[in-house]
Amino acid sequence: MDNYPRLFIKAGLIYALLGAALGVTMAIDPSLSVRLRFVHIHINLLGFMAMMIAGVAFHVLPRFSARKLPWPEGMKYQFILQNVGLLGMVALYAAGGWRGGIAHAVFVFFAILAGMAMAIMFYNLYFVLTAPEETPKPEKITGEMKVADVLDHFPQALALFLESGFKSLANPAARQTFAKVVSIEKACDKHGVSTTAFLEKLNSELFKEDSSAPIPTEGSGPGKEIKHGEMCQADTWVGSLIKAYPATKKVFESNYGEGCFSCPGQAFETVEQTASMHNIDPEKILAEINAEIDRDIKRP
């Protein structure tokens, strides 16, 4: 996780503790709420809630929309402005003087800082969501085109990508994320596939008179289901495996880390694809999974 999303979350958690402490203080002595109510509310809402939301959103939204934040350094300015603005406001409020003279002017200054932080957050999060512009259907596939653009216009090309070695594209989440930023040239480089030969194959298949290649869907892509009682194979879908044998989930968690099941695409990846994505020998994972299955089947 990048530095700033993490900082926002950590700061948010600290404000949660502070907010709770203030709440408990007011509960014990309600007369204190004249000064502490504003502090409690803003520490909880502008500190805890807003910072947690911003931190998680900065981490997640660019990945889901496959776009960069429009102003990544803005996270730093927002972090500083939001903390200084919030702490300044609550300190003045708690000190009892925010409605008169110079103290009011200083309060307004901190309020403006906090307001600016919110405006930066708005800018980054609103515009990271705006959909990419539609591109016209190309007449020829070239190396600079993004993988996802080709798949958008020619869904039948997925089969060609998969059989040429771009196995990770079987995963819908991969098609929604890195396929949008990687060009065909880069993808070929990374997978050791000849760009010229692959482009030739794509162009000759996609632009031939009768292009009737079947359109693969999540259910008909490479891979197969598994039922309770069967053993797992390299091309078994992870989603189906977990359904048939929930105990095998821990094999994935121990090898790939706990976060892997938060990925929306894992259900339609095969065991082999997940292993190759994580640079782990598929045979090792399969052996561990089948040992779990064996234990499950033999269990009285």
CB of 86 to ligand HEM, least distance (A): 7
Nearer to ligand HEM, 87 or 162 (CB): 87
**Among residues 7, 9, 11, 50, which is the contact residue for ligand HEM, using CB under 6 A?**
50
Of the candidates 212, 197, 206, 216, the one whose C-alpha atom is nearest the C-alpha of residue 158 is 216
Query: What is the CA 115 to chain-centroid distance, rounded?
Result: 27
Note whether 35 binds ligand HEM by CB under 6 A: no
Taking the alpha carbons of 91, 92, 97, 99 in that order, is the dihedral positive or negative?
A: negative
Which one of 114, 120, 206, 289 is in contact with ligand HEM (CB under 6 A)?
A: 114
Residue (30 or 72) nearer to ligand HEM, CB: 30
Q: What is the DSSP string of 1-34?
A: --HHHHHHHHHHHHHHHHHHHHHHHHHH-GGGHH
Residues 6+ apart with CB under 8 A from 223: 170, 235, 236, 237, 268, 269, 270
User: Would you count residue 23 as binding ligand HEM (CB under 6 A)?
Assistant: yes
Residue nearest to ligand HEM (CB): 23
Nearer to ligand HEM, 94 or 213 (CB): 94
CB 269 → ligand HEM: shortest distance, Å?
Answer: 38
Applying CB under 6 A, which of residues 7, 9, 11, 26 lies at the interface with ligand HEM?
A: 26
What's the token pair of residue 29? 């002595």
> Which among 33-41, 145-153, 241-249, 267-275 is the span making contact with ligand HEM, rule CB under 6 A?
33-41
- Which residues make beta-bridge pairs with 224? 236
Hey, what amino acid is at 62?
P
- E strand or H helix at 61: helix 50-65
- Give the residue, chosen from 13, 20, 53, 61, that forms a contact with ligand HEM under the rule CB under 6 A: 20
Q: What gap in Å lies between CA 76 and CA 70, rounded to an integer?
A: 13
Q: What gap in Å lies between CA 193 and CA 114, rounded to an integer?
A: 51
- Scan for tokens 């957050």, then name that residue: 121
CB of 78 to ligand HEM, least distance (A): 11
Residue 45 CB, shortest distance to ligand HEM, in Å, is 3
- Could you tell me which stretch among 5-13, 38-46, 147-155, 207-215 binds ligand HEM (CB under 6 A)? 38-46
Which residues of this chain interact with ligand HEM, rule CB under 6 A?
19-20, 23-24, 26-27, 30, 33, 37-38, 40-42, 44-46, 48-50, 111, 114-115, 118
